[in-house]
Structure 1
Amino acid sequence: MATLLLAEHDDKSLNEATARALTAALELGAPVDILVAGLASRPAAEAAATLAGVGKVLLADDEALAHRRAEPVAALILSLAADYDAIVAPATSSGKNVLPRVAALLDVMQLSDITRIVAPDTFERPIYAGNAIETVRSRDATKVITVRIAAFPPAPSGGAASIETVAATDDIHLSAFVGADLSVSERPELSSARVIVSGGRALGSAEKFAEVITPLADSLKAAIGASRAAVDAGYAGNDLQVGQTGKVVAPELYVAVGISGAIQHLAGMKDSKVIVAINKDPEAPIFQVADFGLVDDLFTAVPALVEALKP
């Protein structure tokens, strides 16, 4: 079945979420074409063309697509939809913003946050904060799918797909871009990081969060995450939240510091390859999913760990 994959990018580079969603898209069958919609986004299109398994890259370069608002991007996808059996996007903020509109305009059911493809019309997705897995079969002629990127490995490079230019549709001006306040960090991006160190409410303050979590993250060359309780308390920014209402991650190593392990948080990180929990409460739910657990005061245990990690 022919599949169109909406790329996740910042015009200059391709987000790894695209390569992970491509792995899922390829399980639906070939060919898989990638749509790169933006402004001055040829570098992202060239990066997409190098992914293995890509049939071709469709590049839509237009002022209306500069900030990838849902309305113009959905209209663009709709103009291409007749040639495809499935339309796929990573379940990122951007993908979850655009694809529901596409599904509504096509009058089909969206298949959200899938974690496994059983057959071209049958999929698995988590429900009840990940405590149950639902199997869904769609009879719609066009499948509209968002992919939980933590469930799929990134597709390798090695491709040499052609890049074709497609025209954007007229902007219907239902929304306008006002501005963006973006956090800038030299750390790995949270959703795709190999190692994550997350802090919880037990840290007590934003100052202690930075004092305890940052040195450990530096030692492990890790991204920093936080529980919802820590974010709500103001210890960390909303962009660092891991959980059902934050970011879903599956790093090789996840270190949970002072996190009790509420269902909402576990839903966002329990697929991590190795989970290490540090908490002074031996009954904390986080220990039920942890591969390694340390029952200790985090304010002494974490500095000791940082010291031990020094070369």
Structure 2
Amino acid sequence: MTWQSKRRAFLRTAVVATAAGVAGCSDSGAGDDASGDDEQDGTTTGTPTATPEETDADVETPEEPDEEESAEPDEPAEVQDPKGAVDDWLSNTKNYDGKINDKIRRTDVTIGVGVDDGSGSTFAFGKPAIRVTTGTKIQWDWEDPENAHNVKERNGLFKSGRPVESSGKTYTVTLTEPGVYLYKCANHGGALGMRGAIVVEDQQSLSGSPKVDEWLSEYGEYDGRLADKTGQSSVSVTVGASHDGQNRSFDPVAILVDPGTEVVFEWNGRGGSHDVVWEDGDFGASKTTPDASYSYDVTMDEPGVYRYFCRTDRPYNGRGAVVVR
């Protein structure tokens, strides 16, 4: 397949999700970079797979590439200095503080579009630089109803369409190849510095904990990701959840929480008697019971990896894990 065919095939998959009431406008609207192509340097980027999410039936088809974009995008390759590439790209971005926010353990990340850049103007992305693993879903949420913005990867690897004014539009891609993805707003990505960067890493351990991956390696339900429960003071885990047609599991099977979080294990009364016994940590075991009214709670105060199991169900992969970050 030629690069032109690849390009057309990709553009057909990148659908923009637009909420009701969103007003579109052309690339020629007011802004410092209406053409959307003020830079074309050689920093390597990866190739994403777009996974659109529609917020309304009113869906806008991404515009065709400009003539300046017709050069073949770089193939995914390792960037020798990802931090340097990000720093260079965001050198004029007002809300970039020199840090790449670590979102390695997240399955999805949301980025605001048209947020305050620190000067009172809405010419910024909410998280200008992030680091994620392959397979992470990135969703941009428009927050500015007065200025037209879009999301445009510098080498044309993804694009949300024409800049629009909105406080409800969303655009989503899933990044499946490692690399450095540098993007901007076509209207404001030049002198106003409305830019963003995503560093995508292909890690052997998506959970960030090889110990958890090994512990849960035979679970069909476990995909190497932790269920992100950070920011919650209390989290519930079902005991007796279904696994391979039997009620011998926990749900969610692996969670990420903050220090001080209370983890409450709640029996559902299915699959006979169950208990919770800790492989790590000194929390004390629950009682062994089939009682659907029984619950058992543990408060995780210290960061670490805490694995647990059910004594009767351990031979059937009756295991779980809590990671306290």
Superposed pair shares fold, TM > 0.5:
no
Structure with the greater alpha carbon radius of gyration? 2
More helix by share: 1
What TM-score do you get using the length of structure 1 for normalisation? 0.30
What TM-score do you get using the length of structure 2 for normalisation? 0.29
- Higher relative contact order (Cα pairs below 8 Å, separated by 6+ residues): 2
